[in-house]
Structure 1
Amino acid sequence: MAQDSDNTTLLGVEIVEDRADTITVTANGLGTDIGNTGQAVTIIEREEIESVQGPDATRVLQRTPGLSLTRNGGIGGFTGVSVRGANSEQLLVLVDGVKVNDPSSPSGGFDFGNLLLGTAGKFDILRGSNSTIWGSDAIGGVVDVSTRAETGVEGNVEYGSRDTLYASAVGGLKGDRYFAGLTSSFYRTDGFSAAASGTEPDGFEQVALGGTAFFDITTNLELFVHANWSEGTLDIDGFPPPTFTLADTQETQETRRHWGDVGLAYYGNDLTLRAAYSLSDTERDNLDEEGNVTFAGDGRSERVQLRGEYRAIGPVTVAFGAEHEWSDYVTSFDAPGEIGISGAYVQLGFALGDIAAHIGSRVDDHELFGTNGSYGADLSYGLGNDWRIRASVGEGFKAPTLYQLRSFYGNAELRPEESTSFDLGVEKGQRGRGAHIALTAFRRDTTDLINFAFSADRPFGFYDNTARARAQGFEAEAGFEVTGAFRVAGVFSYVDAEDRATGLDLARRPRHFGTLYADWDAPFGLKLGADLRFAGESFDDAANSIALGGYEVLDLRAALPFGETLEAYGRVENVFNADYATARGYASPGRGAFVGVRAQM
């Protein structure tokens, strides 16, 4: 409740005044100490986000083990995130607990190109299948982004290469029975040509606003509201005749998104309940050089849900939940479609001394393909001297999207994609604190993958369950304080992701990748840092005939405080001007320099 703690956490949203224990929401849906779960979870908080600098979420996310990405050009271009070799569409993305995957996109994924860091307060990233708690889409994992909710007023503005301007601000008021906060962000850049063969810059502009409010109706009952909105315009390159290859064009894409929820939370001595209604809507319009709409899509989802936890007997807890989701979409070329899915789960938990364990199951009912069951279990055991072992097993499923079911290419007989994942790890300490070491081995098998199948019976083909895949490997993470002022850390991942029908590598999944980073605080206040991101070779296509080269990208950054309320900062991205691509034909940003100032009251 707002009046009880200086660091309140409610489904991933923190009212920040002081940092306490690291809390994960993705593990169980309500919030638990990260040390009490056997699942592989990474928490990236606002302090780290600000130290990395800038609006680009990918530079922060790549500090997560097992996470790789592809991007079509610069910031704002389509950005897909893969966790442990899963398809980017198999990642469930939440903002303040609200599902924001786009029902109007063909595979129902989330475009991280439209997620900038100005309004983001924390990333909670679960690696591994977890449909037991979260239902559909959680095959590769779950990312929950918490909106900033801070007391006082903070803001920053920066300017840099490619005529880039970025500004954000956050403010909040807190009383004995309430908290209310607002966030805002503005970004504009001339950019560079998204097509590697092009010369015309492709710019991007976005405005984003967010709000959070809590009100204590009684000492045990809280009303909460979250609301977010963003609107962006992106210059895109296309495939013009006569060659129909990626090249400079005058096309643009407009994206409007809004999402939020409203609900009640009850905190009893032994019982916690959270009931909410949430809404997410994504609209996209593609326009030609004359401003005519060539494609329009609108995807919308609504959800009612109840989550709870009951402290049954001593160290035993029972977590439970139920929800119903309605999704609908409309595009320029397809008739409107809608679908409904209901689900319920129960999970038993045990935590006593050095041991914590959970086991649970879930059932979902989809109005077209019927019933689907999933289960999950995890174990965490302390070995002493801050070491612990972790193990988890989980199932995931992804319901066919409305586009795959109802569009011109749809197939009403589709089955859900399903996965089973295992991981086993050993860890010392916690990420970002003192000495931290973690090593995790994992494996995930996925069946009934939905692909586009060509057929003579239907013009241009249709969607069908045609594939199965396996991803296995290991993740290593470490961080050490060399001195009290100098810390080095890094993550390295080896991911062998293959198509089990052909034995070939899955497209755009490098086998090895990672990030090394270091930070030094000088005695007089200057902060210096460096990030080296690297990835090995991969293939752009399923046939493994088009190779994408590996790359290394180095960023340098600095910050200097002036008193307690003002800080100047700057960075150089891609110091050595590396030329690389994460998707064939698309360029990536070259060297760029940026300077800014951050203030708080």
Structure 2
Amino acid sequence: MMREFSLKAMCLLTCVFVFAQNDLVQLDEVTVTDSRFERSVSKTGRSVTLLTTKDIEPFLGGTLADLLTNQAGIHINGAQSHHGSELSYFIRGGNNRQVLVLIDGVPVSDPTQIENDFDLRTIDLSSIESVEIIRGAASSLYGSAAATAVIKITTNQPKQQSLGGSIRTIYGSNNDKSDFSLAPNNQIRQLQFVIGNPTNAGSISLSDQRTMGMSSVIGTEDDSTAKQNLSAQYQLQLSSDFRLNTFFTKDYFSSEYDDSFPVLMDADNHFTSESQRVVVQPKWTGESSSFVGRVSWSSSSRDFDSSFPIKFEGDVMDFEGVFSTKLSSQFSGLIGLNHKQQKAQFSEKVSADLMDYFVNVLYESEGFFEAQAGSRLSEHSTYGSHWTYHINPSLYFDFSSFDLRFHASLSTAFIAPSLYKLFDTYSGNQNLKPETNQSFEIGTSLFFKNGGQFQLTYFNREHQNFVDYDMTSFRYVNSTTDFEVYGTEFLFSYPLTNRFYVQTNYTYTQNEAGEGLRIPKHKVNTSFRQQFNSNTQFLTSIQFVGDRDDLVGQDLVELSSYWLLNLRISHQLSQAGVSLFASIENVFNADYEEVRGYTTRGRNLSLGVSYAF
């Protein structure tokens, strides 16, 4: 609850900063990098969503999962449960291992995780400046695991100013459906400092969040959580065309949790996760060419203290170099290479190496046609060579009041089994084959010059060698049959007046094999933002999640559909740098489940204040 709570509160705060400005952001001013070239969002030939500060701020005080689960095509299961709940990333009906997360251009993953994914619970939302969501297979551009989506996170960049910063505090309740208390069981404190001059800039940020008041499973015992984040970065302009960026982050997350086997019950279990990441990025920019390099190292440890105690440790070393150039007025191209080494400690030390070579070409005509194509050769230490590719034509037309775009995309992806699935003592299977899939999408978009947009996309993805857990052998195995997942995404947003903005999205997802536990076939998100004056804003958001299937033992059960209503208000004190915000989550105290037998958040209230200097 608290997570969603804080998130909303921050959302209010954000609205204040974002919507205190009456000027709408024009779409031709917004650039995305879905092709690894910067270009206008109205010209991109893929299904892309760019979330900027104005979209993120209303969710500050919550989590990245809360923000993402409100976007078209995305359902984050666990985002509305106990703060320590495991998260499942269902994008276009896929799962965690099919989603690649980049932070400041660096692929992040945890080789000790079952799915080799990045734990979204560990990142502090207030440290994020923008999020770009690229839907569909993109292995040829971004590497293995980019099978259903790429989530590109850009953290707050240091500003070239002498000194600045911000302080934010939030207190909120953390109740489930059966309880309502105003006790401040969700507490968040965030601090950021920025220092810089015309050539160099640096920043450091700290955050701390503590929660209690809810049980992990439906029960009576509180299971508390704690999260601390430290991040620092420094940007050094060595010359007019050469820049060196450095990053350091350290994340700590802990949570009490309950027993799930042999039955769900309160228990005195404790989970701790620690990770750190160091990145060095040199960047050279010429008149028509550029080179971006990267050296990164990350380590992680996960410790489970229960009646079945276990600890995992791992690290990742990653190198990449990308050279891009403007070949002519119509053609741009890039070539690159990437090497990644993953290590993990299970019953023994294990590792995997992956060497990639990739190329991408973008064609932009003088008229209305655009196309990009690319390919990647992946050399895996266990699975040998695999080719992936993408072909992406699009048409766009510029009218006086809107831009019209039609796009299509055909792409493939390759996913090697995680080290856990290969080498875990109890469930590992070293005979697993890598997964592959082919994705096709076709869509149309309208981008209104006043900031509104309309998007409609059909997607279809075919899986081969899908890896799943076998309830008979209790090991991971490859599926013996191929299957398809398909669906439709709809998005509409429009400023009805200068002070009233409406946004809605709908996602339909169908798995022809009947797979996809906890994935809703139908999902809707709608929000209304009312700007009363330059300093005060009111936000109403509604979410509908359709019926889903869950598994209890070996029996399928149905999780009923549900509606959630959330209200948020924010106010900025004129010229003082102080913002006040409040929110009520799950206004009608809806009773719902994300996982059978586990708690979800009920009605909650949060209050917060921030000061920028």
Moved more, 571-580 or 400-409: 400-409
Q: Aligned to 1:172, which of 185, 190, 194?
A: 194
1:284 corresponds to 2:302:
yes
Q: 1:190–1:467: structure 2 CA closer, same or farther, 3 Å change rule?
A: farther
1:390 corresponds to 2:401:
no
Q: Aligned to 2:363, which of 343, 350, 371?
A: 350
Q: Report the residue type matching 2:30 in the other structure.
A: T
1:318 corresponds to 2:333:
yes
Q: Aligned to 1:340, which of 349, 353, 356?
A: 353
Q: Aligned to 1:205, which of 208, 211, 226?
A: 226
**Partner residue of 2:494?**
480
**Partner residue of 2:10?**
none
Q: Aligned to 2:59, which of 52, 60, 67?
A: 52
Q: Report the residue type matching 2:595 in the other structure.
A: A
Distance 2:438 2:51 in 1: 26
Q: CA deviation at 1:30?
A: 5.4
The answer to whether the 8 Å contact 2:540/2:565 transfers is yes
1:449 corresponds to 2:466:
yes
Distance 1:119 1:554 in 2: 27
The answer to whether the 8 Å contact 2:42/2:447 transfers is no
Distance 2:404 2:477 in 1: 47
Q: CA deviation at 1:585?
A: 1.5
The answer to whether the 8 Å contact 1:226/1:262 transfers is yes
**Partner residue of 1:182?**
204
Distance 1:380 1:587 in 2: 45
Moved more, 210-219 or 549-558: 210-219
Q: CA deviation at 1:303?
A: 0.6
**Partner residue of 1:113?**
121
Name the SS of the counterpart of 1:159 in structure 2: strand
Q: Report the residue type matching 1:194 in the other structure.
A: S
**Partner residue of 2:15?**
none
1:589 corresponds to 2:582:
no
Q: 1:207–1:454: structure 2 CA closer, same or farther, 3 Å change rule?
A: closer
**Partner residue of 1:7?**
none
Q: 1:360–1:383: structure 2 CA closer, same or farther, 3 Å change rule?
A: same
The answer to whether the 8 Å contact 1:35/1:380 transfers is no
The answer to whether the 8 Å contact 2:100/2:146 transfers is yes
List per-residue Cα deviations over 1:411-440 (Å, max 9, x = no partner).
Answer: 333221111111111111179x63211111
Name the SS of the counterpart of 2:420 in structure 1: helix
Q: 1:509–1:544: structure 2 CA closer, same or farther, 3 Å change rule?
A: farther
Q: CA deviation at 1:125?
A: 0.9
Q: Report the residue type matching 2:263 in the other structure.
A: T
Number of matched pairs: 568
Name the SS of the counterpart of 1:546 in structure 2: strand
Distance 2:130 2:206 in 1: 16
Q: Report the residue type matching 2:546 in the other structure.
A: G
Q: Aligned to 2:82, which of 66, 74, 89?
A: 74
List per-residue Cα deviations over 1:175-204 (Å, max 9, x = no partner).
Answer: 2211211222111111411102x1111111
Q: Aligned to 1:144, which of 152, 158, 168?
A: 152
Q: Report the residue type matching 1:540 in the other structure.
A: D
Name the SS of the counterpart of 1:35 in structure 2: coil
Distance 1:40 1:495 in 2: 16
Q: CA deviation at 1:173?
A: 2.3
Distance 2:187 2:534 in 1: 29
Name the SS of the counterpart of 1:202 in structure 2: coil
The answer to whether the 8 Å contact 1:284/1:298 transfers is yes
State percent identity of aligned pairs.
23
Moved more, 443-452 or 399-408: 399-408
Name the SS of the counterpart of 1:75 in structure 2: coil
The answer to whether the 8 Å contact 1:80/1:110 transfers is no
Q: Report the residue type matching 2:110 in the other structure.
A: D
Q: Report the residue type matching 2:407 in the other structure.
A: R
List per-residue Cα deviations over 1:379-429 (Å, max 9, x = no partner).
Answer: 232123211112212111111111222333433332211111111111111
Distance 1:165 1:525 in 2: 25
Name the SS of the counterpart of 1:113 in structure 2: helix
In the TM superposition, 1:408-447 aligns within 5 A as: 408=425, 409-429=427-447, 434-447=451-464
Distance 1:263 1:222 in 2: 8
The answer to whether the 8 Å contact 2:103/2:155 transfers is yes
Q: Report the residue type matching 2:578 in the other structure.
A: L
Q: Aligned to 1:232, which of 247, 253, 270?
A: 253
List per-residue Cα deviations over 1:463-518 (Å, max 9, x = no partner).
Answer: 4454533111111100111111010101110011232xxxx242111101121001
1:298 corresponds to 2:313:
yes
The answer to whether the 8 Å contact 2:60/2:126 transfers is no
Name the SS of the counterpart of 1:60 in structure 2: helix
Q: CA deviation at 1:587?
A: 1.1
Q: 1:378–1:296: structure 2 CA closer, same or farther, 3 Å change rule?
A: same
The structure with the largest strand share of the pair is 1
Provide TM-score, normalisation by structure 1: 0.90
Distance 2:504 2:155 in 1: 26
**Partner residue of 2:267?**
249
Q: CA deviation at 1:132?
A: 0.5
Q: Aligned to 1:273, which of 273, 288, 291?
A: 291
Name the SS of the counterpart of 2:140 in structure 1: helix
Q: Report the residue type matching 2:229 in the other structure.
A: A
1:217 corresponds to 2:238:
yes
Give unpaired runs (5+ residues) of structure 1.
1-15
1:493 corresponds to 2:507:
yes
Q: Report the residue type matching 1:443 in the other structure.
A: N
Distance 2:396 2:416 in 1: 37
Q: CA deviation at 1:319?
A: 1.5
Give unpaired runs (5+ residues) of structure 2.
1-17, 175-184
The answer to whether the 8 Å contact 1:155/1:169 transfers is yes
Provide TM-score, normalisation by structure 2: 0.88
Distance 2:140 2:118 in 1: 21
Q: 1:75–1:285: structure 2 CA closer, same or farther, 3 Å change rule?
A: same
Name the SS of the counterpart of 2:466 in structure 1: strand
List per-residue Cα deviations over 1:576-597 (Å, max 9, x = no partner).
Answer: 1111111121111111100001
Q: CA deviation at 1:44?
A: 1.0
Name the SS of the counterpart of 1:277 in structure 2: strand
**Partner residue of 2:532?**
522
Distance 1:363 1:329 in 2: 25
